[in-house]
Chain A
């Protein structure tokens, strides 16, 4: 039996706005850096983003081509499975809808790959209709490498591990395929409002 540490409350806050802060989360003003490996440094002239359809057709964008795509400004709350929530983060990026423009697909899933070998998966429906972006600007500045720059996926409705840093490729797939953390026991979907942290939650 653990003994109680008199007066210890941890980082949780009683006064967090419950309509904005999912269960089990606390609000942070910092932007903690989470990583499972070394931060890859990708020079913009080597960078590209690809989109692969279920038939294997690939579209790709160089940095200049990507930067020429129409962007959207997004202000959202983000929720990390390690229990911090950051309110009103502001980003600029290209909507996944824009990247998918003109692509015919009946795929149900989006598999995401990063420059460091990281992978994650989500239903395509959670990435389309204004729900996900490939972002390259945070708080008015180019996204810093430790936060996923040159560009990362942003899917604010799911726990942040789905918002893959250093994104390199998006693959449409009719079959779901677990990514890095999903494969090690994290929840396959990861809805912060249902506290879907681990498989089985």
Chain B
């Protein structure tokens, strides 16, 4: 896609929290209304900045969860125990509060239906957030690009966007979703019950001969393993884009 250069620095914008959605016990989506927000692309992120009374500041990156929609920006934040920023976003932030953010950021780990496919998405934990923006954009598009998602969570309780994925999966015949729960599975569980490995990827993802575009996102260790396994399965490393969120088990 052609893009013209937008020059200049990224300014901090002030957004208002208009809704808070509990995704799981430890994950919340924050719906922001951000005046002057430029349209974003699925896969992009924002930097969020918090400022204490005495001027102390902390900032972190969060992927945008919603497809482009005017001045609305949704982020989905997972609680990191002992974290500095995520416990505040999940536990303190209230509807009506103002928060600073800048973005949208990223031009590499992005996908829109116009980029075509087939597409292979692999998510670990909250790594599903930017991939969900891609899936939501797919659902809104009339381009029927074939997309497969393999998503890994610790347990059903920590699987984000579960209901929405099930709905989209049954309404879109170009979307296939496979799940794995790594720690605890409900009695009637139909999906996988282990960490993502090469065999699981071989069973659930596009064969390398289809030359899919790959997007892998999640904790650093997860991304590392999945990307290495996809390359071992014959995928072209240059077609597998990764976004590492940082430490943690996943």
Contacts A3-B100, A5-B50 given; does A10 touch B58 at CB 8 Å: yes
B52 touches A9 (CB 8 A): yes
Give the complex CA separation of A103 and B12 in angstroms: 57
B65 to chain A, nearest CB (A): 21
Judge if B20 is at the interface, Cβ distance under 8 Å.
no
Judge if A144 is at the interface, Cβ distance under 8 Å.
no
Judge if B240 is at the interface, Cβ distance under 8 Å.
no
**B residues near A6, Cβ cutoff 8 Å:** 92, 97
Judge if B86 is at the interface, Cβ distance under 8 Å.
no
Would you list which residues of chain B between 74 and 105 have a CB under 8 Å from chain A? 82, 84, 88, 92, 97-100
Chain A 1-37 interface 0/1 with B at a Cβ cutoff of 8 Å (1 = within): 0111111111110000000000000000010000000
Closest to A28 in B: B82
**A residues near B53, Cβ cutoff 8 Å:** 4
Give the complex CA separation of A4 and B53 in angstroms: 6
Closest to B92 in A: A7
**B residues near A10, Cβ cutoff 8 Å:** 50, 52, 56, 58, 84
**A residues near B92, Cβ cutoff 8 Å:** 6-8
**A residues near B156, Cβ cutoff 8 Å:** none
Judge if B195 is at the interface, Cβ distance under 8 Å.
no
Give the complex CA separation of A2 and B48 in angstroms: 12
- State which of B49, B55, B84 has its C-beta within 8 Å of the C-beta of A11: B84
Would you list which residues of chain B between 128 and 174 have a CB under 8 Å from chain A? none
- State which of A3, A7, A12, A30 has its C-beta within 8 Å of the C-beta of B56: A12
Contacts A10-B56, A12-B56 given; does A5 touch B82 at CB 8 Å: no
Judge if B57 is at the interface, Cβ distance under 8 Å.
yes
Contacts A10-B58, A12-B56 given; does A5 touch B99 at CB 8 Å: yes
A2 touches B84 (CB 8 A): no
Give the complex CA separation of A30 and B99 in angstroms: 29
Give the complex CA separation of A3 and B49 in angstroms: 9
A4 touches B14 (CB 8 A): no
A2 touches B56 (CB 8 A): no
- State which of B12, B14, B50, B82 has its C-beta within 8 Å of the C-beta of A8: B50
A4 touches B51 (CB 8 A): yes
A16 to chain B, nearest CB (A): 14
Contacts A2-B57, A3-B14, A30-B82 given; does A8 touch B52 at CB 8 Å: yes
Give the complex CA separation of A12 and B84 in angstroms: 10
**B residues near A30, Cβ cutoff 8 Å:** 82
Contacts A10-B84, A12-B56 given; does A2 touch B97 at CB 8 Å: no
Closest to B51 in A: A2
B94 to chain A, nearest CB (A): 8
Would you list which residues of chain B between 37 and 85 have a CB under 8 Å from chain A? 49-53, 55-58, 82, 84
Give the complex CA separation of A9 and B58 in angstroms: 10
Closest to A12 in B: B56
Give the complex CA separation of A8 and B53 in angstroms: 8
Closest to B57 in A: A2
A33 to chain B, nearest CB (A): 8
Give the complex CA separation of A3 and B50 in angstroms: 8
B60 to chain A, nearest CB (A): 12
Contacts A8-B92, A9-B52, A10-B84 given; does A2 touch B12 at CB 8 Å: yes
Give the complex CA separation of A111 and B98 in angstroms: 49
Chain B 1-44 interface 0/1 with A at a Cβ cutoff of 8 Å (1 = within): 00000000000101000000000000000000000000000000
**A residues near B84, Cβ cutoff 8 Å:** 10-11
A-B contacts, 21 listed (Cβ < 8 Å): A3-B51, A3-B98, A3-B99, A4-B51, A4-B52, A4-B53, A5-B50, A5-B99, A6-B92, A6-B97, A7-B88, A8-B50, A8-B51, A8-B52, A8-B58, A8-B92, A10-B52, A10-B56, A10-B84, A11-B84, A30-B82
Residues on B close to A: CB < 8 A?
Answer: 12, 14, 49-53, 55-58, 82, 84, 88, 92, 97-100
